[in-house]
Amino acid sequence: MLLVTSIIAAFLTFIFIKLSFAVINLRRKNKVGLGNGGNEELERAIRAQGNFAEYVPFGLILMACLELNGAPRWLVAFPGVTFIIGRLVHAAGINIPPPDFSKRILGMQLTFGTLIVLVVLNLCWSLYMFIGGA
């Protein structure tokens, strides 16, 4: 069962929906059907949504693999919560004018840090289970 990953995925999907509605609302407001129409606010919203969509699947896949391979729930939950925080901080940093680069940097540090931790956890846990931990 993927109980922890399901909870993390639900929170991340809620954030993605919020970011998507921000893009939709700005497109309507500025009458822009495709691209950003030269609107900086819309460009920020598009990139916040796009960046989110680029990184989240990798985190969820790594969490699901770890959980499916029998890792303790806390070992999946801790990086999952950190990943959510990183994605929220990054979105706030890129989406609130003027762009707050310190929040963007912190958000990406948390995101990359979490992804790296998840890679290492998956490799170590899988090796542990392969050698005879099960």
HEC assignment per residue over 61-121: HHHHHHHHCCCCHHHHHHHHHHHHHHHHHHHHHHHCCCCCHHHHHHHHHHHHHHHHHHHHH
- The domain tally of the chain equals 1
Q: What is the pLDDT along the chain (134 residues), one digit of tens a residue?
A: 899 999 999 999 999 999 999 999 999 898 877 877 778 888 999 999 999 999 999 999 999 999 999 999 999 999 999 999 999 999 988 877 776 688 889 999 999 999 999 999 999 999 998 888 65
CATH of the domain at 125: 1.20.120.550
Tokens 């950003």 belong to: 36
For residue 79, what are the domain limits? 3-133
Angle at 7 between CA 83 and CA 73, to 5 degrees: 80
**Predicted TM-score of the model (pTM):** 0.89
Chain-centre distance for alpha carbon 130 = 29
